[in-house]
């Protein structure tokens, strides 16, 4: 078991920068997920930790040792790939034991470790099968088994669930979490799926354009995003961003939304936002779940306004309502029973206790 530290890690492909200086401390036994859109440098970062990619500058530290020039096999890591990368001519047992056989680990020790991993992953009956005789989920479990038997310091996962169908993905996600709870190995997991990131991680690292946008626990990122990018990336449906003005009004501050309603800023936030009164290019950020149908009792911080739904999307347990607010398409999550219909005016409540004010120029949440 070991901690992993990245110090000012940079990677350039010829002149193109892929990773632009990353600093990250991953604690022993921690499950860290790197998440971001395609091309944000998350996989490159993982591959640099694995030693499959040369480092342009900076350091990768595993345990106490800088491993920049250490070949992958000597880094004591195990990696699970998106396309499983199982050896097609070997049985499940041979696939899982390949690394140990190369290291000349005694046969009975190999048998013990493979059996243990097979038991954890429910592969005991499949050990003599070849990969082509397995389903996608089973193959991915074998790939994880191959990592577990090596008992490495660090597990690296490179989008391991992307090739599975939606249902299996949810199932395997739970299995990965269970396996981590059992073996407690330091894990770095790369995905572009923010739901995977939120559900699996102890801490999530949101990356964008080769840089870290924010590091935090899933709840921190959700409730206290540092930038517009993180606010928009984490959460589904995504946070609404509506251009707004911030004005001084009697008894506090007020958000003006052009032709939309004027919303009073809750008193506990007014102090923080006061310096930005009159500032241009501000965005009002509110998650869809903080925009809902009118209820009998208005709580402090909630404000009612009328909207005309353009699209209504029933999801079963909730209904998404899309309407235009100050020229921007905005999403609200309402109760399916509230009778939202396209074109029919609907009373909505905005819960401003969870609002965000964003500087659209710098992208920073204020």
Partner 1 sequence: MSAVADAAVAAPVPRAGSMKKDRRRALYWSYFFLILFVIFFLTPPVYMLITSLKSSAEIGAVTNPWFVYKPTLENYAALLGSKQYLTFFANSAIVSVVVVIVTMLISVPAAFALARMKFWGSATLGMGVFLTYLIPETLLFIPLFKIFAWVQNLTGIEVMNHYWVLMFIYPTLTVPFCTWIMIGYFASIPKELDEAALIDGASYFQMLIRIFIPVALPGIIAATIFAFTVSWADFLYPMAFTTSADQLVLPAGIVTILIRGDVYAWGQIMAACLLGALPPLLIYAFLMDYYVAGLTAGATKG
Which residues contribute to the site for partner 1 (CB under 8 A)?
A: 50-52, 71-73, 77-79, 81-83, 85-89, 98-99, 102-103, 146, 150
- Nearer to partner 1 (CB atom), residue 73 or residue 341: 73
- Nearer to partner 1 (CB atom), residue 51 or residue 235: 51
- Nearer to partner 1 (CB atom), residue 23 or residue 54: 54
Q: Are 136 and 56 in contact (CB under 8 A)?
A: no
- Nearer to partner 1 (CB atom), residue 88 or residue 345: 88
* Least spacing, CB of residue 94 vs partner 1, in Å: 10
Angle at 189 between CA 6 and CA 80, to 5 degrees: 110
CA pair distance 91, 101, nearest whole angstrom: 14
User: 351: how many CB neighbours lie within 10 A of its CB?
Assistant: 17
- Nearer to partner 1 (CB atom), residue 87 or residue 361: 87
DSSP 57-89: EEEEEETTEE-TTS-GGGTTEEEE-TT----TT
* Least spacing, CB of residue 142 vs partner 1, in Å: 11
What is the arrangement of strands in the sheet containing 346-351, beginning at the earlier edge strand?
A: 291-293, 346-351, 302-307
* Least spacing, CB of residue 50 vs partner 1, in Å: 7
Q: Are 208 and 54 in contact (CB under 8 A)?
A: no
CA pair distance 276, 359, nearest whole angstrom: 9
List b or e across 32-60, with b for residues whose CB sees 16 or more CB atoms inside 10 angstroms. bbbbbeeebbbbbbbbbbbbebebeebeb
* Least spacing, CB of residue 329 vs partner 1, in Å: 37
Q: Are 187 and 180 in contact (CB under 8 A)?
A: yes
- Nearer to partner 1 (CB atom), residue 65 or residue 315: 65
* Least spacing, CB of residue 139 vs partner 1, in Å: 12
User: For 235, left (φ over 0), alpha (ψ -120 to 50), or beta?
Assistant: left
Q: Hunting for tokens 């699970």 — which residue is that?
A: 80
CA pair distance 65, 227, nearest whole angstrom: 33
* Least spacing, CB of residue 49 vs partner 1, in Å: 11
* Least spacing, CB of residue 169 vs partner 1, in Å: 19
- Nearer to partner 1 (CB atom), residue 24 or residue 86: 86
* Least spacing, CB of residue 136 vs partner 1, in Å: 15
Preceding peptide of 237 cis, ω within 30°: yes
* Least spacing, CB of residue 309 vs partner 1, in Å: 42
List b or e across 76-87, with b for residues whose CB sees 16 or more CB atoms inside 10 angstroms. bbbbbebebebe
- Nearer to partner 1 (CB atom), residue 77 or residue 357: 77
CA pair distance 198, 262, nearest whole angstrom: 34
* Least spacing, CB of residue 83 vs partner 1, in Å: 6
CA pair distance 197, 176, nearest whole angstrom: 12
- Nearer to partner 1 (CB atom), residue 6 or residue 49: 49
E strand or H helix at 13, and its extent? strand 4-13
- Nearer to partner 1 (CB atom), residue 101 or residue 276: 101
List b or e across 201-228, with b for residues whose CB sees 16 or more CB atoms inside 10 angstroms. bebbbbbbebebbbbbebeebbeebbbb
């Amino acid at each position: 078991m070991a901690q992993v530290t990245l110090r000012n890690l940079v990677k350039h492909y010829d002149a193109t920068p892929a990773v632009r200086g990353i600093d990250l401390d991953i604690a022993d036994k921690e499950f860290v997920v790197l998440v971001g859109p395609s091309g944000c440098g998350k996989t490159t970062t993982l591959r640099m930790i694995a030693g499959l990619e040369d480092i342009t500058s900076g350091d990768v530290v595993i345990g106490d040792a800088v491993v920049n020039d250490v070949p992958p096999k000597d880094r004591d890591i195990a990696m699970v790939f998106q396309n499983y990368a199982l050896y097609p001519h070997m049985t499940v047992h041979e696939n899982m034991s390949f690394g140990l056989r190369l290291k000349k680990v005694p046969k009975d020790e190999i048998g013990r470790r493979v059996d243990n991993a097979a038991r954890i992953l429910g592969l005991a009956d499949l050990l003599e099968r070849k990969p082509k005789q397995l389903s996608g989920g089973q193959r991915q479990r074998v790939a994880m088994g191959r990592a577990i038997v090596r008992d490495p310091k660090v597990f690296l996962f490179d989008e391991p669930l992307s090739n599975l169908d939606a249902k299996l993905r949810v199932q395997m996600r739970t299995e990965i979490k269970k396996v981590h709870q059992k073996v407690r190995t330091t894990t770095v997991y790369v995905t572009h799926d923010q739901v995977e990131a939120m559900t699996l991680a102890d801490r999530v690292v949101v990356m964008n354009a080769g840089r870290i946008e924010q590091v935090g626990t899933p709840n921190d990122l959700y409730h206290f995003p540092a930038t517009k990018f993180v606010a928009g990336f984490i959460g589904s449906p995504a946070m609404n961003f509506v251009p707004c003005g911030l004005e001084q009004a009697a008894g506090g501050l007020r958000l003006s939304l052009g032709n939309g309603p004027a919303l009073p800023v809750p008193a506990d936030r007014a102090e923080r936002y006061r310096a930005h009164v009159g500032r241009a290019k501000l965005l009002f950020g509110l998650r869809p779940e903080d925009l809902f149908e009118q209820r009998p009792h208005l709580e402090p911080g909630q404000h009612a306004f009328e909207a005309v739904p353009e699209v209504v999307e029933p999801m079963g347990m909730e209904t998404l309502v899309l309407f235009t607010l100050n020229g921007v398409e905005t999403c609200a999550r309402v109760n399916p029973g509230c009778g939202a219909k396209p074109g029919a005016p609907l009373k909505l409540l905005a819960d401003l206790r969870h609002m965000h004010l964003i500087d659209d120029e710098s992208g920073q949440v204020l």
